[in-house]
Amino acid sequence: MFSEVLLYIGLVFTVLALLVRFAGNRPVLAGSRYMNVRDMKALNIWAGNRLLLLPVMEFALALYGTDTAAKAVLSGMVTVFALFGVIVWISIGGKRFCVAD
């Protein structure tokens, strides 16, 4: 049951990652200071590629969690930590696209 929820979360992550990946020059990342960004398209492509790791991991965790409910709940917790990790990775790594002050 819970592994099905993880599959749906994986689909949502896929759509969001592809939206960011193919956003072009539009500002789609919340919290980014786009006035300092040199190449917004490169930033969106870079961030979208990082976000695409989430659905891959999510589908693998959904497959892992099909055996028991305990594994599924553990997979859900890993998902939360991975989401925060990717957000931090994008926040820190995205600074290389900014113009030096």
User: In this predicted model, what pLDDT tens digit does every residue of 32-74 receive, in sequence order?
Assistant: 666 778 888 998 999 999 999 999 999 999 899 888 888 888 9
pLDDT tens digit sequence for 11-40? 999 999 999 999 988 888 776 666 778 888
Look at residue 54 and tell me if it is in a domain. Answer: yes
Look at residue 66 and tell me if it is in a domain. Answer: yes
Residue 52 phi, psi (nearest 5):
-70, -15
Look at residue 71 and tell me if it is in a domain. Answer: yes
DSSP string, 35-98: GGBS-HHHHHHHHHHHHTHHHHHHHHHHHHTTS-HHHHHHHHHHHHHHHHHHHHHHHHHGGGGB
What is the domain count for the chain?
A: 1
Residue 43 near residue 25 (C-beta atoms within 8 A): no
Look at residue 29 and tell me if it is in a domain. Answer: no
61: left (phi over 0), alpha (psi -120 to 50) or beta: alpha
| Residue range of the domain that includes 50 | 2-24+34-97
Look at residue 39 and tell me if it is in a domain. Answer: yes
